[in-house]
Structure 1
Amino acid sequence: MRLTRLIQSATSNIPKVRRIVGAPPGTMVYTGERVMDEVHVHLTHYNAGTFETSTTLDAIPSESVGEGTVAWYDMRGLHNTELVESLGSKYGMHPLALEDVVDIQQRPKMEGYDEGVLLQLKAFSYFRDKRELHVEQVSVYLAKNTVITFQEDGGDLFASVRKRLKNASGRIRSRPADYLAYALVDNIIDNYFVALDQIEESLDELEASIMQEPKMETKALIHNLKLALLTMRKSSSPLREMIGRFGDSEHQLIGEDTQLFVRDLKDHVIQVTDLVETYRDVTNGLYDLYVSEISFRMNSVMQTLTIVSTIFIPLSFLAGVYGMNFEYIPELRQPNGYFMLWGVMLTIIGLMLWWFRRKRWL
């Protein structure tokens, strides 16, 4: 039951899937809630010797590329399904592929079609100050001499890839479109390690704060980290299968040279999966540590209160005896009876403290 509630909490802020009941396969329905004021389409043309880039709003560039040149369309804003369909149809995207692009609830997968290959995965960004994990679905469609990427938000997830293209650094400018698709997927997975590093630092900070002074809000922070790691686990587990299919695919658009790099990428996915599992165990350990620290501090408080109460029990007994309304109490007529009673009380306190320390209760 606890795991069920955790999963429900992890998906509570994810928009519910909205489908048209009875609609034929290939019907495009955007299942997200993020809407951009302006949909951006970034076009990049490059080959070994040239690099050109441009940006348009709510339009599809009409330039055609020649043999040996790669065109990369980067569309940001999936709510504009008409533009998604228009861009996809230009390069022969299958209706089922277009349906998957605008359905942000898709699990990471690879689908091969006659005209191209569709790769879908999640992009993660972790914000330490808010302890929040930002999730965005990214689709990479590979066609002949063309790569099309679809992003939910307006942020540039592929800034490092653009920089490599612009500076002609590495192999990317001299290789075909399938290598660009690999580089884009590799860039997203590299950001997994960045997010996990941020989560690790948050775990270290939480551990230090728990050991110093556990607070009530610490429990909520641990819970948020649990949800973030659960979300990453749900996305990283099927990612291994997707990368395996990508690396072993016999599709005509994926060359053997690129497949060698993709197979190496599979090791990175395994590392991500292992790190997610490790940090989940650490998070569970932090929760146990938090509960232990709270219990220890509570026991310390109760121990102190118990000792104080135990010390005052015999003193209350003596005060009660001499506070009774009997006419004949011999000690009441002693000239030094008051001071004798204080001496007895202080002696009892000293003996009890000595006994508690000997028993290591103090």
Structure 2
Amino acid sequence: MARFIKKTKEEIGRAPDELFHRGERKTEEVFIRVIDFDANTVEENALKKVADAISYQDKKTVTWLNIDGLHNKNVMREISQGFNLDELVLANVMNTTARPTVHEYDNCIFISIRMLQLDEETNTISVENLSLVLTKSVLISFQERKGDVFEPIRERIRNKRKRIRNGWTDYLAFALLDIVIDNYIYILSVLGEKVEALEESVGDQPNKSTIKKINVYKRELNYLRRNIRPAKEMILALSKMESEFIFESTYVHFKELRDNINQATDTSDSYREILNDQLNLYHTSISTKLNDIMKFLTIFSVVFIPLTFIAGIYGTNFDNVPELHYKYSYHIMWMVMIVVALSMLYYFKKRKWF
């Protein structure tokens, strides 16, 4: 299946607001977690059903409802009905192959973005679609599987960090997006270290493993770029959005997101140029080595052409060859050949041909 475009035949012709899971199922069960907090209190629970979360929207606190698992359309329908959300919003949540986007509805803002995580042990990058539904008092985050990069946000809430505990759902959404973009930059930095380390081997001793690494890094970087660049468009649109769900004081943070995503895209562009330069340098190094070899072989051949000519003349099978029976003819022949060879080498050196 294609790495960037994934669409099955069953998806064709379905209504945009139909609750149908598009993409790969990455968990069997749906996990529901909630963190409800204000400046003074915090409550954290794992819920068994959506109905247990409905009452939180009536409280004068900030509620972060996290859903792990997007394949259960019954759960999605309960969320749609319980929080009075358009089913089109939940249909977009279940479409994990859609392009990152931001859209404002009557009672919420819908945000989707690719979340990248680097597995330090296997050195592989996992990708999943993250969706955020932002209302005035509830932020619902949807993930494809359990486990995420948001534990630092939960720790900030538990440890009574003033800015996040005094903020509302718009600031919480910023904090989650900030973590996602910081992971973009982190993964790029890890890849960048490998790219920069490759520069020395490209210049000194290029070989088949070098070109293989360059191609692997180019493929991984292109994959990152295909996920980061659409996110940049979404963040730019979000930072310019005028919405009742976003307080004026939070816009400065969304502009910070824009700066961070610009840094990520600029970094990816820089490493792409470096890899292209390394590829060109590799081919140039190989061509230079080949030219040196051809130059040596050419000089070697040119030196031996007149020597072969002399030996051929001297070795002709005729009875009447001058000096054929002369005592020192063989030595004279070698002397002439050595003088000719040295003269040619001197001439090549003077002309700086080697």
TMscore range, shorter length: 0.7 to 0.9
What SS does the aligned partner of 2:262 have? helix
Give the aligned CA root-mean-square deviation in angstroms: 2.8
The answer to whether the 8 A contact 2:303-2:341 is kept is yes
Tell me the equivalent position of 2:112. Answer: 120
Deviation at 1:302?
1.5
Percent identity over the alignment is 32
Aligned CA distance change for structure 1 residues 333 and 272 (closer, same or farther; 3 Å): same
Deviation at 1:15, TM superposition (A): 5.2
Match of 2:291 in 1: 299
Displacement of 1:88 after TM fit?
Answer: 4.5
36, 50, 54: which one aligns with 2:41: 50
Alignment-derived partner of residue 176 in structure 1: 168
Aligned to 1:17: 7
Aligned to 1:69: 61
Q: In 2 relative to 1, CA 327–274 (structure 1 residues): closer, same or farther, beyond 3 Å?
A: same
Q: Partner residue of 1:136?
A: 128
CA distance in 2, matches of 1:61, 1:317: 100
Which AA in structure 1 matches 2:35? T
| Cα shift at 1:110 | 0.7
| Residue 29 (structure 1) aligns with | 20
SS at match of 1:333: coil
- CA shift digits 1:247-288 (9 cap, x unpaired): 343433222222232123222223333333333222222222
Deviates more, 1:318-327 or 1:160-169: 318-327
What is residue 267 of structure 1 aligned with on the other side? 259
Question: Bigger CA drift: 108-117 or 333-342?
Answer: 333-342
Distance of 1:43 and 1:337 partners within structure 2? 104
1:109 CA displacement: 1.3
Shift of 1:143: 2.4
Determine the C-alpha separation between the residues in 2 that align with 1:359 and 1:334: 38
1:233-257 per-position Cα deviation (integer Å, ceiling 9, x unaligned): 4444443442343234343322222
Question: Residues 242 and 312 from structure 1, CA distance in 2 versus in 1: closer, same or farther, beyond 3 angstroms?
Answer: same
Larger CA deviation: 108-117 vs 146-155: 146-155
Contact 2:39–2:162, Cα closer than 8 Å, also in 1: no
1:342 Cα deviation after fit: 2.6
Residue 149 of structure 2 is aligned to residue 157 of structure 1: yes
SS at match of 1:62: helix
Deviations 1:163-203 (A, max 9, x none): 22222235111211221111101111111211221232122
For residue 44 of structure 1, what is the amino acid of its counterpart?
Answer: I
Work out the CA distance in 1 between the residues paired with 2:110 and 2:20: 18
**Hey, what's the Cα distance between the residues in 1 that align with 2:146 and 2:127?**
13
1:246 and 1:297 map into 2 onto residues whose CA distance is 53
SS at match of 1:209: helix
Q: Distance in 2 between matches of 1:127 and 1:207?
A: 25
SS at match of 1:319: helix
Question: How many Å separate the matches in 1 of 2:248 and 2:2?
Answer: 42
Q: Which runs of 5+ in 2 are unaligned?
A: none
Range with greater deviation from structure 2 (37-46 or 139-148): 37-46
**Other-structure match for 1:325:** 317
TM-score after normalising by structure 1? 0.85
Task: Give yes or no for the alignment of 1:146 onto 2:138.
Answer: yes
Count residues with an aligned counterpart.
Answer: 351
Taking the aligned partners of 2:159 and 2:122, their CA distance within structure 1 comes to: 35
Q: Is the 8 A contact 1:45 1:69 kept in 2?
A: yes
CA distance in 1, matches of 2:87, 2:36: 26
